[in-house]
């Protein structure tokens, strides 16, 4: 499953040309082992609780959006997916951080299947995400705040996800993580053994939204943020 996507797109996409992207059965097996170990650690060390997995439309491609407060975030969202699906799940990651060196980029790809995005020139990244979602069964994991919070509060959602989903029937799944900021805040070297809770909301689609309408796109961003905030209030 993983190798099919690798042969179709990534090595020709602008954001990936500078980074080696290993693929094949060996990489898939190693990633599966890492993800399995990560799930065990999250369940035992951080007592990860996941609510709402039935809201994930596993029969199609979709986008997961979530508040961003910790390096635990992507691992927790990946843990909500079937283990066999992680090879087609791509956490969007800042190229200037997670892909700053060839070694770091290889580790990011092998461990979590990270997808590098240039935070300063997002147009190529949006096109790459659109191309990925056009193939069936893909999952994009996006943190619309763009960076981890330093206070624990949820910041403004950037418009990238709204522009990606507008005018399409691609489901967007709001998610909320609580406890991750306390367990592993920005600036701390290692996580604390504190509980983390992931709540997954119902999918939304935005087929009727014109992606060229900046006001409508801004409203979608605000709506998705409110969905995430509302999940945190439950």
pLDDT at 127: 86
pLDDT at 70: 96
- As a dihedral over the C-alpha atoms of residue 71, residue 69, residue 187, residue 22, rounded to 10 degrees, the angle is 20
Backbone angles phi, psi at 115, to 5 degrees: -115, 110
**pTM score:** 0.88
- How many folded domains does the chain comprise? 1
Averages of pLDDT over runs of 10 residues in the chain (234 residues) are: 32 41 80 96 98 98 98 97 95 76 79 81 77 93 95 95 97 98 95 98 98 96 98 92
**CATH code, domain with 22:** 3.40.1130.10
- H helix runs in 120-197, sequence order: 122-133, 160-165, 180-183
pLDDT at 14: 38
Relative to beta strand 62-66, strand 172-178 is parallel
Q: Which domain holds residue 223?
A: 2-233
Residue of 109, 101, 100, 98 whose CA lies nearest to 24 = 109
pLDDT at 119: 65
Query: How many Cα atoms are found within 13 Å in the side-chain-facing hemisphere of 91?
Result: 27
User: How far apart are the C-alpha atoms of 88 and 8, rounded to whole Å?
Assistant: 13
pLDDT at 95: 74
């Amino acid at each position: 499953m993983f190798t099919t996507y690798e042969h179709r797109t990534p090595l020709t996409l602008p954001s990936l040309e500078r980074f080696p992207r290993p693929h094949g059965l060996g990489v898939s097996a190693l990633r599966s082992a890492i993800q399995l170990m990560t799930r065990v650690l999250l369940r035992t060390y951080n007592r990860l609780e996941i609510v709402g997995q039935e809201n994930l439309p596993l029969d199609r491609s979709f986008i997961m959006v979530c508040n961003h407060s910790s390096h635990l975030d992507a691992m927790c969202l990946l843990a909500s997916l079937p283990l066999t699906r992680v090879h087609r799940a791509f956490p969007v990651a800042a190229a200037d951080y997670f892909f700053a060196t060839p070694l770091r980029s290889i580790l990011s790809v092998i461990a979590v299947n990270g997808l590098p995005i240039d935070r300063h020139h997002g147009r190529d990244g949006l096109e790459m995400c659109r191309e990925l979602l056009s193939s069936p069964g893909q999952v994009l994991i996006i943190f619309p705040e763009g960076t981890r919070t330093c206070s624990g509060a949820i910041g403004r959602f950037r418009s990238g996800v709204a522009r990606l989903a507008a005018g399409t029937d691609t489901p967007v799944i709001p998610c909320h993580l609580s406890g991750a900021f306390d367990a592993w805040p920005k600036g701390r070297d290692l996580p604390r053994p504190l509980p983390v809770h992931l709540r997954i909301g119902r999918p939304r689609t935005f087929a009727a939204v014109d992606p060229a309408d900046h006001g409508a796109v801004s409203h979608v961003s605000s709506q998705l943020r409110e969905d995430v905030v509302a999940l945190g209030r439950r």
